[in-house]
Amino acid sequence: MKLAEIKAKHENHDYIKGIFKTLNASFKGIDNQIDTYFKVPKGKLKLREGNIENYLIYYERNEVKGVKQSNVILYKLRASSTLKQILMNVLSPLVVVYKRREIYYIDNVKFHLDTVNDLGKFVEIEARDEFNLIPHDRLFNQVKRYMKLFEIRHEELVDASYADLLLQQLNV
């Protein structure tokens, strides 16, 4: 799957939820997620455990402030999967991220309103292309449109994953 995405430190989730109401966004639910990141030679590998989403996720992206492209491979898991134990036995865990995520959709754009333990509140915008049918520029423009609509300022943009932010905080 190809993504254009941003992450921003953004405290005013209620403001964004008001916009979602006017746009008839589809609310998928609140997911309490545990993301366990593992040490890998390139990219990022994490196991996501939640009450809505359960995936093994591998991704590569340039960590830049602003809209960035990600290449993602998702492997859907059953909630009771034994994969975590296998990964913990084979790979070294790097960091664990605990978050409360509200998930919304408008067409091919997925939105996350995240409250991350020890980091605060964030918004993520992901323009998604699961079948390689949407031009790269259109994905980027979709993200930019919602950034403007949500009044996300450049200084709110984050150029790192939650795992990297936690590791920076721990000085690792």
pLDDT tens-digit readout, 119-171: 999 999 999 999 989 999 999 999 999 999 999 999 999 999 999 999 999 87
**Distance of alpha carbon 166 from the chain centroid:** 15
Q: Which two tokens stand for residue 156?
A: 């709110």
> SS3 of 90, please?
helix
Q: Which two tokens stand for residue 172?
A: 């690792």
Domain locations in the chain as residue ranges: 2-169
CB-neighbour burial class of residue 62 (10 A; exposed 0-12, middle 13-18, buried 19+): exposed
**Distance of alpha carbon 34 from the chain centroid:** 12
**Residue 64, pLDDT above cutoff 90:** no
Considering only residues 107 and 62, tell me which one the structure prediction assigns the higher pLDDT. 107
* Spatial CB neighbours of 128, under 8 Å, sequence gap ≥ 6: 1, 2, 3, 108, 109, 110, 139
2-169 topology per CATH? Hypothetical Protein Pfu-838710-001 (2.40.320)
**The model's pTM:** 0.93
Mean pLDDT of 77-103: 92
